[in-house]
């Protein structure tokens, strides 16, 4: 059974679906029309599904004729609040909303995979679940689907993210950490305001805030080992109102990233200790809040091996390439964490092509996709499902 040949029958379908979703983007937790279209397409195929995940996500099920395991394939559906700058026939029709990350392609790939898997049901082992997930960009969709039973009976999970940092026609599938955790924090600084000419009568929130910004960098350089990949970013600093006024209060917000779950657990304690210590030194009160948004996406070696062997059949062994782990976050990590023994893998099929002008960074208003690369992504979903379930 040549899955790639089956997939080629649906190449134009995949492209058409991707263009439809690209023209009609919807931000996180608002993907109602996208979900409706996915359901309509599944109805046409005769594929069973349930709405799963805040009334938006769609969980389809395809059962093979032969016994076997159960694998979940996942695609995300949400767009970004980015204003598209591309001049394309299928440019976003919604001002300020754009598929600038590739989730339109992911949704189309999984619909294509549904077509392929439907065609090969008589040869397929076990069960394949297809999760069309909302709200990846805000880290809420995977948890919502898992809470509503998406992972019941699942033995392994597989996902993909098209990647503009990988050459079109090539793919990265590697074991271990692939994407980082993501957390958001805020540090509020309370001082005592007053006249800029009389600092001794005040408690300056500006100097305290600046000291905290500088010292946050030592969390990386002095609190963790040199081989622990850690990012602590201060993204905003809001302090002060006027040139001759000592600031009464300030606020710092930012994000952290890492790949190690031990580091992830230790980060907030160490950051808070430093912030409060500086606050005490500068006589300011400190309020520290920290929210974990995503855990790191870590590929299980066994599931990665299955996916890599599947990719060799679709892409050719010579087109499997190395890609360094990225510090971007991905809520597919929750699906991996929910799988038995964390049996999951996440792949990065390349879309970078000079001809298609598809080398722009993800989240860029100029982001484009080499659509000629999409059919192999759909075939890979089906190949991984077939290979895992029939082992």
The CATH number of the domain where 273 resides is what? 3.30.70.360
Residues 76 and 210 in one domain: no
Domain total of the chain: 2
Residues 119 and 165 in one domain: yes
Residues 242 and 126 in one domain: no
Instruction: Tell me if residue 165 falls in helix, strand or coil.
Output: strand
For residue 391, what pLDDT is reported?
76
State if pTM tops 0.75: yes
Residues 258 and 372 in one domain: no
Residues 290 and 304 in one domain: no
Dist. CA 146–CA 351, nearest whole Å: 30
CB contact at 8 A, 71 and 389: yes
Backbone CA torsion sign across 193, 197, 200, 206: positive
Q: Is 269 a catalytic residue?
A: no
- Torsion of the alpha carbons at 29, 166, 110 and 178, rounded to the nearest 10: -60
Residues 42 and 147 in one domain: yes
Of 279, 294, 309, the domain-final residue: 294
Residues 190 and 96 in one domain: no
Dist. CA 342–CA 333, nearest whole Å: 9
Q: Which of 26, 76, 136, 155 is catalytic?
A: 136
Q: What is the rounded radius of gyration, in angstroms, for the C-alpha atoms of the chain? A: 24
Residues 46 and 159 in one domain: yes
Residues 24 and 120 in one domain: yes
Q: Which of 41, 78, 84, 260 is catalytic?
A: 78
| Per-residue model confidence as pLDDT tens for the chain (391 residues) | 799 999 999 999 999 999 999 999 999 999 999 999 999 999 999 999 999 999 999 999 999 999 999 999 999 999 999 999 999 999 999 999 999 999 999 999 999 999 999 999 999 999 999 999 999 999 999 999 999 999 999 999 999 999 999 999 999 999 999 999 999 999 999 999 999 999 999 999 999 999 999 999 999 999 999 989 999 999 999 999 999 999 999 999 999 999 999 999 999 999 999 999 999 999 999 999 999 999 999 999 999 999 999 999 999 999 999 999 999 999 999 999 999 999 999 999 999 999 999 999 999 999 999 999 999 999 999 999 999 998 7
DSSP state of 373: G
Tokens 């005592």 belong to 192
The closest of 15, 12, 21 to 104, measured between CA atoms, is 21
Residues 175 and 223 in one domain: no
Domain of residue 216 covers 182-294
For residue 60, what is the domain's CATH number?
A: 3.40.630.10
For residue 161, what pLDDT is reported?
98
Residues 280 and 313 in one domain: no
DSSP H helix total and E strand total for the chain? 10, 17
Q: Is 78 a catalytic residue?
A: yes
Of 294, 314, 343, the domain-final residue: 294
For residue 320, what pLDDT is reported?
98
Residues 261 and 353 in one domain: no
Of 294, 309, 341, the domain-final residue: 294
């Amino acid at each position: 059974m040549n899955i790639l040949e089956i997939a080629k029958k649906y190449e134009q379908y995949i492209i058409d679906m991707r263009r439809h979703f690209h023209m009609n983007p919807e931000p996180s937790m608002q993907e109602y029309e996208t979900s409706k279209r996915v359901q309509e397409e599944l109805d046409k195929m005769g594929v069973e599904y349930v709405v799963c995940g805040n009334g938006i996500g769609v969980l389809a099920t395809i059962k093979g004729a032969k016994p076997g395991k159960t694998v979940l394939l996942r695609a995300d559906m949400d767009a970004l609040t980015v204003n598209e700058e591309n001049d394309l026939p299928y440019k976003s029709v919604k001002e300020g909303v754009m598929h600038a990350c590739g989730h339109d392609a992911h949704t189309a790939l999984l619909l294509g995979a549904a077509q392929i898997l439907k065609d090969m049901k008589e040869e397929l082992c076990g069960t394949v679940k297809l999760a069309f997930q909302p709200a990846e960009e805000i880290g809420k969709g995977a948890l919502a689907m898992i809470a509503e039973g998406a992972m019941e009976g699942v033995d392994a999970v597989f996902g993909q993210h098209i990647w503009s940092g990988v050459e079109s026609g090539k793919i990265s599938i590697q074991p271990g950490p692939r994407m980082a955790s993501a957390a958001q924090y805020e540090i509020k600084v309370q001082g005592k305001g007053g006249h800029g000419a009389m600092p001794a009568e005040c408690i300056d929130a500006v100097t305290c805030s600046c000291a905290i910004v500088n010292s946050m960098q030592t969390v990386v350089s002095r609190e963790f080992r040199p081989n622990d990949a850690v990012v602590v970013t201060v993204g905003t600093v809001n302090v002060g109102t006027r040139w001759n006024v000592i600031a009464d209060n300030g606020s710092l917000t930012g994000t952290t990233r890492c790949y190690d779950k031990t580091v992830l657990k230790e980060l907030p304690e160490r950051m808070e200790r430093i912030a409060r210590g500086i606050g005490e030194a500068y006589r300011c009160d400190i309020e520290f809040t920290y929210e974990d948004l995503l855990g790191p996406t870590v590929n299980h070696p066994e599931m990665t091996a299955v996916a890599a062997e599947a990719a060799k059949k679709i892409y050719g062994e010579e087109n499997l390439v190395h890609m360094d782990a990225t510090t971007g976050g991905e809520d597919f990590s929750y699906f991996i964490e929910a799988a038995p023994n964390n049996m999951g893998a996440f792949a990065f099929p390349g879309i970078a092509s000079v001809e298609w002008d598809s080398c722009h960074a993800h989240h860029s208003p100029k982001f484009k996709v080499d659509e000629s690369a999409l059919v192999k992504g759909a075939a890979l979903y089906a190949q991984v499902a077939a290979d895992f379930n029939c082992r």
